[in-house]
Amino acid sequence: MHNVGFDCVVIIRGGGATSDMSGFDTLALAENVANFPIPVITGIGHERDESILDMVSHLRVKTPTAAAAFLIDHLKTVLDAINDAQNRITRHAQQRLADHKYQISNFKSQIRGLCSTVKIRQEARLDNLNNSITRHVQQKILNSQLSIVNLENRLPLLTERRITFEKHRLQLMEEKLKALDPTLLLARGYSITLHNGKAVKDATTLTTGDDIETRLANGTIHSIVTGI
């Protein structure tokens, strides 16, 4: 059984003969009361009429009236404690609020002074940073100007060297081209055979009846292939 919404259980009897007490001496009821998750208060008889249920309950009182009086007194005690705690909490909160207001007032005064100090420091820092940047930019400009002057002085020499290098490279290329010129080969006694304007490098590409052209250093010979 869940005890949500309940603080205790009260078992009472409104009077009767001693024989009526037997219902409060059962094992099942005693076990349930002993293991119940919330306190059980019994008020089922006079002092001389003690039952097993009285023995296992959380609290035993003499009569139902005594049980009610106990609960009322307990609730009053709890209410007084709550009211006292509420008053103490209220006083503590008021004191804390007054302390915080005082601290905030002090903070305001301190912040004004700190803001003024920080402002002065930041302005000085910005001035120093601006002067540093200006000096750095001026130095960079001066270095760039010196580099341009040095480059201007070196440019004619570098240009002349480049032109000389390119002339030498062109001479080498001209010599290579001359070495590959087929007219030089023809002048040395070699000939070139053409078929349909293309040089013949493999005789098996020709067939009987093909018209071929043989170029010499001086003159050209036209022939008809009669056999391979």
The 10s digit of each residue's pLDDT in 65-113 is 888 899 999 999 999 999 999 999 999 999 999 998 988 888 888 888 7
Q: Say if residues 206 and 228 touch (Cβ distance below 8 Å).
A: yes
d(CA 211, CA 220): 13
Residue 46, in any domain of the structure? yes
Give me the residue label for tokens 């007084």: 80
Please compute the mean of the pLDDT values over residues 30-41 and round it to a whole number: 89
User: Is residue 1, in this structure, part of any structural domain at all?
Assistant: no
Mean pLDDT of 168-174: 88
Q: How far is CA 184 from CA 18, 171, 172, 190, 217, in A?
A: 151, 18, 17, 9, 8
Q: Which residue has the higher pLDDT, 92 or 216?
A: 92
pLDDT confidence of residue 19: 60
pTM: 0.38
Q: How far apart are CA 70 and CA 40, in angstroms?
A: 13
Interval 30-48 mean pLDDT: 83
Per-residue pLDDT averaged across 185-193, rounded?
76
* Region for 197 from its dihedrals, namely left if φ exceeds 0, alpha if ψ lies in -120 to 50, beta otherwise: left
Q: Is residue 101 part of a domain?
A: yes
Asked if the model's pLDDT at residue 208 lies above 80, the reply is yes
Q: Which residue has the higher pLDDT, 90 or 18?
A: 90
Q: What pLDDT score does 85 carry?
A: 94
Question: In the listed set 89, 104, 125, which residue is the last one of a domain according to the structure?
Answer: 89
Q: 155 and 217 share a domain? A: no
- The residue-averaged pLDDT of 145-170 equals 87
User: Which comes out higher in pLDDT, residue 54 or 166?
Assistant: 166
E strands, 13-62, are: 40-43, 59-60
Burial class (CB in 10 A: 0-12, 13-18, 19+), 54: buried
Q: Is residue 3 part of a domain?
A: no
Give tens-digit pLDDT for 45-70: 666 667 888 888 888 888 888 888 99
Structural domain count, the chain: 3
Q: Which residues of 80-93 are buried (b: 16+ CB within 10 A; e: fewer)?
A: eeeeeeeeeeeeee
In the numeric block, the tokens 């540093």 are attached to 132
The separation between CA 80 and the C-alpha centre of its own chain, rounded to angstroms, equals: 54
Mean pLDDT, residues 144-172 taken together: 87
148 and 213 in a single domain? The answer is: no
Residue 2 lies in a domain: no
Which pLDDT value is given to residue 3?
Answer: 47
pLDDT at 83: 94
| 73 falls within a domain | yes
Which of 63, 68, 67, 44 is closest to 54 using CA atoms? 44
Q: CA 109: distance to chain centroid? A: 40
For residue 4, is it within any domain? no
| 176 and 188 share one domain | no
Greatest extent of the chain over all pairs of C-alpha atoms, in Å: 160
Mean local confidence (pLDDT), 101-126: 85
Task: Domain of residue 62: give its range.
Answer: 9-89
Q: What is the mean pLDDT of residues 36-42?
A: 90
pLDDT at 18: 61
State the chain's mean pLDDT as an integer.
84
How open is the CA angle 204-208-213, to the nearest 5 degrees? Answer: 80
Give the C-alpha separation, 167 to 162, whole Å: 9
User: Pick from 16, 72, 14, 18: which is nearest to 43 by CA?
Assistant: 14
Which of the listed residues 72, 89, 106 is the one where a domain comes to its end? 89
